[in-house]
Structure 1
Amino acid sequence: MRESAAERHDRLLDLVRERGSARVSDLADRLGVSPVTARRDVEELAGRGLLDRVHGSVSWPQEQSGGGTGAAGGGLVLGMLAPSATYYFAEVIRGAHEAAARAGARLILRISDYRPEEDHARTEGLLAAGAEGLLVAPGWRRPGDPAAYGDWIASLPVPAVLLERLPAAGSPLDGTDRVCSDHRHGVLLAVRHLRELGHGAPLLMARDDSPTALAVRAGYADALGVLGLRPPRDVIDSVPAEVCPDRFEAAVRALREAVASGAATAALIHNDVDAIQVVQRLAELGVRVPQDLALIAYDDEVAALADTPLTAVAPPKREVGRQAAGLLVERLGRGRPGRGRDAGGEEPRRHLTLLPQLRVRASCGASSI
């Protein structure tokens, strides 16, 4: 099986962490890729703050804090497992890295590439590399994944914080610290905004291949119930255009049919990469945004860059990373001792939920704010 970019980034980070520094040409040889590919990978990782780059070489970041030396001088080492280092999780990682640097800690990263069956082994790798606490975002994709690939997290030998993942109620992970975006609230913001603009219930087009996508689907049903609305038709299943062009085309045509029949005048689409492609194809089919269809995207990674800038729900991704890393540092004893402890002397676990924002742009037909 061909190695993914995420797996290659994971190997590159491991090489630099082990050596402290390395020339880009040497990394290309070790990774078995061209110098151009290695340079591009280094630039991407340095842009996220995961590496320091100077004159053809890269080094592991040597963060300094107000209290003294960073992790290289004996500070904390935090391990982070993420399903991806791009798109949504790039910002989560960046936030965690910033919070670790402020605490004088070093963050080391491993990527699962959304293969939950490998999460446990990759986490063991983080522990072997010296991680004293863990930020864990499992590579779950389907509803059954938390039960099949999640219980091991509750028995980790070091403090752990679950991020952007909601385990099933009553699972062993209920007692684990976690920091998550409230996607149900984000969907409610979108549906309520469209209703205030005079639309009925928006049509939902969404993926079903990630915890965020599943939460958006669940939030859609909840939002319609709260606002007393009925869906104009069943949810349209979305897939990336490059993965399955035929299914993508069928989804776009289903949306076009709903607009043409008058069943829907508004739509919510997860995610905004898909939304941009949908808007482009709708235009070719004679449906204009926002004149014929008011549209809101979910995630707000690239929504503002569309020809018609897309109104979007923006989960607080970077703040999720910051809060999770800060909580982990506190769990490791770097916070104020004794604060918030119960009579038995143990600090209560926390489930911290952060609220998304709605960023209003041209695609919903309202003035931006």
Structure 2
Amino acid sequence: MRESAAERHDRLLALVRENGTARVAELADRLGVSPVTARRDVEALAARGLLDRVHGQVSWPARHAAPSVAGSAAGAAGAVRAAGARRSGEGLVLGLLAPSATYYFAEVIRGAHEAAANAGARLILRISDYRPEEDRARTEGLLAAGAEGVLVAPGWRGPEDRPAYGDWLAELPVPAVLLERRADPGSPLDALDRVVSDHGHGVLLALRHLLGLGRGTPLLVARGDSPTALAVRAGYAEALATLDLTAPGPVIDSVPADQDPAGFEAAVRALHEAVASGRAGAAVVHNDVDAIEIVRRLAELGVKVPEDLALIAYDDEVAALADTPLTAVAPPKRQVGRHATELLVERLTETGQEESARRHLSLLPRLRVRSSCGAPGGVHPA
């Protein structure tokens, strides 16, 4: 994917902030762009007051915070104290780093934007495209653009990304709230405020509903390429233990049909075999898009939903638009963005001598019942 100008500016600002000063030719080399492009970027950032430029060299403005996210928090602390003097969020600048601006995170961003507007604050956005190695530079860009506090959903893809690309978040010189991401217990990130969906509860809702329909223990068909997917898998194991059940078979690895046709076909065939053999009469599928494609392919193989297989999708982004509208677990995405923003504004406007306790807020998903499980429709709360 081609890098946008905003992303390149973030990387440039991060390089200057880290080193204090840099020559334009050096920046061009480090960024992998032509000297003309680097010079044009420097001029644009200097015009916005984000850099000082003198004789082919740029430097981090002395009026801004010191040149590293972790280092010299004095300037940022002063900004936070000034913000703390406000009794509302009016005039605040908030930063939001998200791994995507579409699908799941579109609603999270929308909720954050609504809450910022209600508080009189301005929200600025950076997208990482699930490249956790770019998260720090993107956040540097938010700080350079004036963010006084940040909402961060790191672009982690697997469990190995959390320790590799996470600890720097705990060193930020401004308040930070984690969005839809959990930290390892006892890690530096565990001391941050966070707002998340309780995906384990969402999976438990789905299993209890399918069991109540007399369909037997459901299989899980799930991706493994995002924190949400991993949380759904962990929630499935916890739900089975809570309900004292044994899975009718191993978790079936799901992959996007357009990216890995062979892997997708293997997942469909595994689910088809489980239904045909009588091992499974129900399934939970993460996510909606995969579930729609799976239902379509199963029909071609002679398996009907919900007659032969009761199915619940996870995410509820497009589940209602399927030929057979899919029952789905709906995480409270917009509320996550809203509550996280309200928490960040509260942090930035605290006026007491003692900072309030940090919070880990878990919001409960709902189950939206449609045609794919063979039950009357409606919304089932937690």
**2:215 maps to 1:206:** no
Distance 1:211 1:11 in 2: 23
Q: Report how far residue 132 of structure 1 moved.
A: 0.4
Look up the match of 2:276. 260
**2:169 maps to 1:153:** yes
2:153 corresponds, among 111, 134, 137, to 137
Distance 1:224 1:201 in 2: 9
CA deviations on 1:24-57 (whole Å, 9 max, x unpaired) are: xxxxxx9xxxxxxxxxxxxxxxxxxxxxxxxxxx
Change (3 A) 1:129 1:89: same
Look up the match of 2:354. 345
Look up the match of 2:52. none
1:99 corresponds, among 91, 98, 115, to 115
**2:248 maps to 1:232:** yes
CA deviations on 1:4-26 (whole Å, 9 max, x unpaired) are: xxx54956999xxxxxxxxxxxx
Look up the match of 2:317. 301
Distance 1:361 1:346 in 2: 46
Q: Report how far residue 167 of structure 1 moved.
A: 1.1
Q: Report how far residue 346 of structure 1 moved.
A: 2.2
2:261 corresponds, among 240, 245, 249, to 245
- Give the superposed CA RMSD: 1.9
Residue-pair matches, total: 302
Tell whether the 8 Å contact from 2:7 to 2:138 is kept in structure 1 after alignment: no
Q: How does 1:48-197 map to 2 (within 5 A)?
A: 75-197=91-213
Q: How does 1:212-223 map to 2 (within 5 A)?
A: 212-223=228-239
Distance 1:204 1:83 in 2: 25
Distance 2:259 2:332 in 1: 28
**Identity over aligned residues, as a percent?**
75
Q: Which runs of 5+ in 1 are unaligned?
A: 15-29, 31-69, 339-343
CA deviations on 1:48-69 (whole Å, 9 max, x unpaired) are: xxxxxxxxxxxxxxxxxxxxxx
SS in structure 2 at match of 1:205: strand
Change (3 A) 1:120 1:231: same
Tell whether the 8 Å contact from 1:10 to 1:109 is kept in structure 2 after alignment: no
Distance 2:159 2:9 in 1: 31
Tell whether the 8 Å contact from 2:289 to 2:318 is kept in structure 1 after alignment: yes
Look up the match of 2:28. none
Change (3 A) 1:169 1:313: same
CA deviations on 1:238-283 (whole Å, 9 max, x unpaired) are: 0000110000001000000000000000000000110000000000
SS in structure 1 at match of 2:178: strand
Distance 1:368 1:12 in 2: 48
Distance 1:80 1:347 in 2: 22
Q: Report how far residue 234 of structure 1 moved.
A: 0.3
Look up the match of 2:373. 364
Q: Which runs of 5+ in 2 are unaligned?
A: 11-36, 38-87
**2:272 maps to 1:274:** no
**Superposed structure 1 runs of 4+ greater than 4 Å apart:** 7-14
Look up the match of 2:363. 354
TM-score normalised by L of structure 1: 0.79
Q: Report how far residue 144 of structure 1 moved.
A: 1.2
Change (3 A) 1:201 1:9: farther
TM-score normalised by L of structure 2: 0.76
CA deviations on 1:300-330 (whole Å, 9 max, x unpaired) are: 0000000100000000000000000000001
Look up the match of 1:61. none
Distance 2:140 2:9 in 1: 16
